[in-house]
Amino acid sequence: MGYSVSEQEQLLFLFKTLSNQLGPKFEKNTQFSLSRFELLYQLVQFEEISQSSLQKIVNIDHAAITRHLKQLEIDGYVTRRRNPKDNRETIVHLTEEGRQQIFNCQKDKQSFTNQMFSHFNDKELKSLIDMLQRIQKNIKEI
Amino acid sequence: MGYSVSEQEQLLFLFKTLSNQLGPKFEKNTQFSLSRFELLYQLVQFEEISQSSLQKIVNIDHAAITRHLKQLEIDGYVTRRRNPKDNRETIVHLTEEGRQQIFNCQKDKQSFTNQMFSHFNDKELKSLIDMLQRIQKNIKEI
DNA sequence: GCTCAATTATTGATAGCTCAAATATTGATG
DNA sequence: CATCAATATTTGAGCTATCAATAATTGAGC
* Mean pLDDT across B120-133: 96
Name the residue among B22, B23, B131 with its Cβ closest to that of A124: B131
What is the signed CA dihedral for A41, A43, A47, A49, rounded to 10 degrees? 160
Q: Which nucleotide is nearest to B34 (CA to C1')?
A: D16
Query: Does the pLDDT of residue B98 top 90, yes or no?
Result: yes
CA of B124 to C1' of D13 (A): 40
Q: Average pLDDT over chain B, rounded to whole?
A: 93
A19-28's contacts with Cβ under 8 Å and 24+ in sequence apart are A19/B15, A19/B16, A19/B18, A19/B19, A19/B20, A20/B19, A20/B59, A20/B60, A21/B59, A21/B136, A21/B139, A21/B140, A22/A116, A22/B12, A22/B15, A22/B16, A22/B139, A23/B16, A25/A112, A25/B139, A25/B142, A26/A109, A26/A112, A26/B12
Domain borders along chain A are: 12-30+106-142, 32-104
Confidence of residue B6 (pLDDT cuts 50, 70, 90): confident
Over residues B19-73, the pLDDT tens digits come to 999 999 999 999 999 999 999 999 999 989 999 999 999 999 999 999 999 999 9
> Does CATH place domain B22-140 in 1.10.730.10?
no
Say what the pLDDT of residue A2 is.
Answer: 45
Say what the pLDDT of residue B4 is.
Answer: 53
* Mean pLDDT across B91-103: 96
Across chain A, which has 142 residues, the per-10-residue mean pLDDT values are 71 95 94 96 94 96 98 97 96 97 94 95 96 94 80
Name the residue among A17, A110, A129 with its Cβ closest to that of B5: A110
Say what the pLDDT of residue A5 is.
Answer: 57
Query: Does the pLDDT of residue B5 top 70, yes or no?
Result: no
Say what the pLDDT of residue B2 is.
Answer: 43
* Mean pLDDT across B89-107: 95
Q: What is the dotted CATH code of the domain comprising A32-104?
A: 1.10.10.10
Mark yes or no for CB contact A22/B139 under 8 Å.
Answer: yes
